[in-house]
């Protein structure tokens, strides 16, 4: 294989890594979002079942005869203190759960299904980020095998399994990657910064928050969610966990799940982007297109947190072409528009206008940002006629979000392409 073919294969690898990560993350959110209502329905059924059982037990307790002689005709309700009674009912429910976990526990736990869904999806999300780090590191050592330490040792038994030197080198790569991933999360990120000289965008991504998610994953997997000193030591100083004490049990709420999801999604994309741009500079145009697509998708979904993270990253990233820079700046304008920052939006649009003269595609983008429908349709039609804009530019563009509610939008687009 020639050097050019080898580099093209490596470009393809890093692109596939980024795309696989995005697809996996989108799939996790899609799964939780669609299964969530079913889990909530089961939990609501469990809640109602629990209420009926508690009501029945309470009724039995308050109507217990005071003596054997009086069991023929039940007496008036026995006067039992309400707090004591509730405690007794809860105790009986707890015993029922212990003796029949698969039955009573499922029937009476009114947060079981939603809780299991969020916890399991949370675990998958952390594993997805683990796979991303592993794939990136493997890609690096595949592209730069000379970065492996000369003093690395391969056991004789493993060496005998190798058919050639290349296979032995791959075993050493696996060994190196495993060594890095065996470290705690904070040290893994530090490895990217100090050893690989990768900018991890610490001013944009909260790696401390992701580190807390890793530590929470550990106690959920190994300690039933109960906080221990190791967890507290690992997340020391993080505002969100101040006041948490050993012995408390942590779970995964919907708000917490989304907070971590958005941070991991943006963090993974940015980390992979910076590795891509450092190791494969000649392929930065493809990295630009992935970044544009990633920002556009989050804006379409109105996912403000990851859209903001990625837009901030794009502002400090050198694009591979003027067209890519324009697309990234346009999406930043759409973010400002979504956030209602009109003054900042107006300033950024003025910058876009400087290079838009005579370019119908760019003028269509600007007029869409300004919600000027008449001018937008005029420039869009001209851009379609000269082949500068295609159907995907309208169907999948976040910049046209405000126009999609217009009943004439689809009709006008169909007319444009019909006569183009």
Q: 102: pLDDT confidence band, cut at 50, 70 and 90? A: very low
Take residue 337 and report the two structure tokens written for it.
Answer: 């528009």
Does 316 score more than 80 pLDDT? yes
As a whole number of angstroms, the distance between CA 366 and CA 351 comes to 10
Instruction: Return the closest-CA partner of residue 17 out of 290, 257, 259.
Output: 290
Q: 78: pLDDT confidence band, cut at 50, 70 and 90? A: very low
| Average pLDDT of the residues of the chain | 84
Instruction: Return the closest-CA partner of residue 141 out of 191, 211, 205.
Output: 191
Q: Which residues pair with 249 in a beta bridge?
A: 226
Q: Are 211 and 267 in contact (CB under 8 A)?
A: no
Kindly report, residue by residue over 281-309, the tens digit of the pLDDT.
887 889 999 999 999 999 999 999 999 99
Where is pLDDT greater, at 396 or 379?
379
CB atoms closer than 10 angstroms to residue 196: 18
Average pLDDT over every residue of 183-192: 95
pLDDT at residue number 72: 43
pLDDT at residue number 171: 80
Enter the pTM of the model. 0.82
Does 199 score more than 90 pLDDT? yes
pLDDT at residue number 70: 45
pLDDT at residue number 109: 53
Where is pLDDT greater, at 173 or 59?
173
pLDDT at residue number 79: 47
As a whole number of angstroms, the distance between CA 338 and CA 323 comes to 23
Q: Are 276 and 289 in contact (CB under 8 A)?
A: no
- Cα distances (angstroms) measured from residue 230 to each of 5, 24, 216, 235, 259: 48, 30, 11, 9, 23
Q: 341: pLDDT confidence band, cut at 50, 70 and 90? A: very high
Return the minimum-mean-pLDDT range out of 335-339, 360-364, 397-401: 397-401
Does 40 score more than 80 pLDDT? no
Give the DSSP H or E segment for 262.
helix 254-279
Kindly report, residue by residue over 253-286, the tens digit of the pLDDT.
999 999 999 999 999 999 999 999 999 988 788 9
As a whole number of angstroms, the distance between CA 171 and CA 42 comes to 48
Q: Are 315 and 332 in contact (CB under 8 A)?
A: yes
pLDDT at residue number 100: 47
pLDDT at residue number 389: 84
pLDDT at residue number 388: 86
Backbone φ and ψ of 243, nearest 5°: 95, -15
As a whole number of angstroms, the distance between CA 26 and CA 351 comes to 33
For residue 204, give every residue at least 6 positions away whose Cβ sits within 8 Å of its Cβ, in sequence order, or none: 266, 270, 309, 312, 313
Backbone φ and ψ of 3, nearest 5°: -60, -40
pLDDT at residue number 415: 84
pLDDT at residue number 38: 84
> Would you say how long the chain is, in residues?
420
Take residue 268 and report the two structure tokens written for it.
Answer: 């993974």
Does 5 score more than 60 pLDDT? no
Does 174 score more than 60 pLDDT? yes
Where is pLDDT greater, at 172 or 268?
268
Backbone φ and ψ of 99, nearest 5°: -85, -20
pLDDT at residue number 20: 95
Does 97 score more than 80 pLDDT? no
pLDDT at residue number 73: 45
């Amino acid at each position: 294989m020639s050097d050019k073919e080898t580099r093209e294969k490596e470009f393809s690898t890093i692109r596939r890594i980024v795309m696989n990560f995005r697809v996996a993350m989108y799939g996790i959110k899609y799964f939780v979002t669609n299964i969530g209502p079913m889990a909530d329905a089961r939990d609501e059924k469990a809640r109602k079942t629990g209420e009926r059982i508690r009501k029945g037990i309470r009724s039995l307790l308050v109507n217990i005869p005071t003596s054997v002689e009086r069991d023929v005709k039940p007496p008036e309700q026995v006067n039992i203190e309400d707090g004591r009674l509730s405690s007794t009912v809860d105790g009986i429910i707890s015993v029922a759960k212990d003796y029949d976990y698969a039955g009573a526990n499922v029937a009476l736990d009114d947060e079981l299904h939603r809780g299991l869904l969020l916890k399991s999806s949370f675990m998958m999300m952390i594993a997805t980020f683990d796979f991303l780090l592993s794939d990136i590191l493997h890609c690096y050592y595949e592209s730069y095998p000379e970065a492996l330490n000369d003093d690395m040792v391969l056991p004789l038994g493993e060496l005998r399994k190798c058919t050639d030197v290349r296979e032995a080198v791959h075993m050493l790569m696996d060994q190196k990657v495993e060594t890095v991933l065996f470290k705690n999360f904070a040290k893994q990120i530090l490895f990217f910064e100090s050893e690989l000289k990768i900018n991890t965008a610490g001013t944009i991504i909260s790696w401390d928050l992701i580190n807390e998610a890793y530590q929470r994953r550990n106690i959920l997997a190994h300690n039933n969610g109960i906080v221990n000193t190791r967890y507290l030591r690992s997340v020391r100083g993080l505002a969100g966990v101040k006041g948490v004490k050993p012995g408390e049990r942590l779970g995964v709420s919907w708000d917490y799940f989304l907070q971590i999801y958005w941070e991991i999604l943006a963090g993974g994309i940015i980390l992979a982007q910076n590795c891509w741009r450092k190791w494969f500079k000649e392929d930065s145009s493809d990295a630009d297109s992935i970044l544009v697509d990633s920002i556009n998708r989050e804006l379409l979904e109105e996912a403000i947190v990851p859209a903001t993270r990625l837009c901030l990253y794009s502002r400090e990233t050198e694009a591979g072409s003027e067209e890519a820079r324009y697309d990234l700046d346009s999406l930043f304008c759409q973010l400002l528009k979504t956030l209602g920052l009109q003054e900042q939006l107006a300033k950024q649009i003025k910058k876009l206008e400087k290079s838009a003269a005579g370019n119908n595609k760019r003028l269509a983008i600007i007029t869409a940002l300004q919600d000027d429908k008449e001018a937008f349709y005029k420039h869009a039609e001209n851009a379609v006629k000269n082949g500068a804009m295609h159907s995907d530019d309208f169907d999948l563009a976040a910049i046209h979000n405000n126009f999609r509610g217009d009943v004439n939008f689809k009709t006008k687009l169909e007319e444009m392409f019909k006569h183009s």
